[in-house]
Structure 1
């Protein structure tokens, strides 16, 4: 996946220093799906569903100023295609508070409802091209920022958001934090048979394992059966 910047329509990105793409992408175990951004404005959902996809996660916002112009049509298209769907927010902890960014995300497609098809929103935490490592923040400052975002999101929806990250970025910038257990993990790790779990988490919920493949955008899997994914969606 490609890195995002504030001014660009970015997609979720695996950390370049931590993730290597495999030369050949094989479908991994679990329940298959994918994630997209403005780089895939008109995904072929019919083809994805025909090839077994069960869910899609779509970029909605970034910081407190960027709203994806393709999000609404992408989200509605996923709904019409029968896919389970969710939204993600590309975080900029160095630009504004976690609470401010959570509220912006919630106001622009990032909410969650218990309809059996909506996935909780995601905070995308990773290196940003051209920015300081770890957003220029200390571990304690990042922990506080993430909790500020998460607590604001939970107060509005009743559940914590997911965290998208890699073990390399997380272990360097956040390290072990007891609060991580409250947040479902969406881990990025390419070219491996099973993903490395960041410190503080005990297992992964979703795994992004390739930046291209059968489906549009990045290739993902839910760590379990379709029934368990439906249970997760209901909260």
Structure 2
């Protein structure tokens, strides 16, 4: 979920760097072959620049998460272009929020997210919103919060987002960040779909509570390549069939 080169370097310290470069359907991606077995996805932000979403869809990308907000003051300047353009191209899209647990409460950030692109609609092409929980580009990895405080922050975000949208928020994280900053908390695994980041592995390492059969999305590289996007882009895999992906989008 690229925000800047600095953040990419930081995340590389907590997840494994991609080790093998393959060519799949003409796209050079750093990933294990297993990551190509389900509907292909990407996640993007302003960092990717202008995107040709028709080319992205024609390249076989079925879904995408698009950065909407951060904290309670920042809205991604390309979100208002990317979000409807992905929809128009037939890409099943969702919005994500980069969490800043040290700047304001979880409920306040969920409100900001839901009011600025993160809401959900039953239109066959919209995924539930996601909250990005990872170390910041600089500063304390756990934002100076105790494990108890972090659990409370996440719970408050989840509850407010559910109240606003009727959907369980998707949690994006790494096993190392989650287990360290929440104290290996298992309390969200029965509620939130998991979007796990783990690069260059044959299967992802999972945060406490989720299992090999219960993770939903897997970000398997930060150095993928897709037609319609200049430069590197995160590549992702959905753990299931397209029918199951549409069921998640439609809450069925």
In the superposition, the TM-score normalised over structure 2's length comes to 0.86
What is residue 245 of structure 2 aligned with on the other side?
A: 229
- Offset of 1:89 from its aligned partner? 0.3
What is residue 146 of structure 1 aligned with on the other side?
A: 154
Matched, 1:155 2:152: no
What is residue 214 of structure 1 aligned with on the other side?
A: 225
In 2, Cα distance between equivalents of 1:75 and 1:109 = 8
What is residue 141 of structure 2 aligned with on the other side?
A: 133
In 1, Cα distance between equivalents of 2:38 and 2:129 = 20
Deviations 1:57-114 (A, max 9, x none): 1000000010111101001110111110000000000110000000000111001112
Check the 8 A contact 2:178/2:207 in 1, yes or no. Answer: yes
Check the 8 A contact 1:15/1:169 in 2, yes or no. Answer: no
- Offset of 1:3 from its aligned partner? 5.3
* 3-state SS of paired residue (1:219): strand
Distance 1:155 1:76, change over 3 A: same
In 1, Cα distance between equivalents of 2:130 and 2:4 = 15
In 1, Cα distance between equivalents of 2:140 and 2:159 = 26
1:111-122 aligned within 5 A: 111-122=119-130
Comparing 129-138 and 163-172, the one that deviates more: 129-138
Name structure 1 gaps, 5 residues minimum.
none
In 2, Cα distance between equivalents of 1:198 and 1:40 = 28
Equivalent of 2:209 in 200, 203, 206: 200
In 2, Cα distance between equivalents of 1:80 and 1:178 = 37
In 2, Cα distance between equivalents of 1:68 and 1:155 = 24
In the superposition, the TM-score normalised over structure 1's length comes to 0.92
Equivalent of 2:195 in 171, 186, 191: 186
Deviations 1:133-159 (A, max 9, x none): 211111111010001000000001111
- Offset of 1:181 from its aligned partner? 1.8
Distance 1:54 1:189, change over 3 A: same
1:1-235 aligned within 5 A: 1-2=1-2, 14=11, 16-24=13-21, 25-26=30-31, 28=35, 29-174=37-182, 175-202=184-211, 203-215=214-226, 216=229, 217-235=233-251
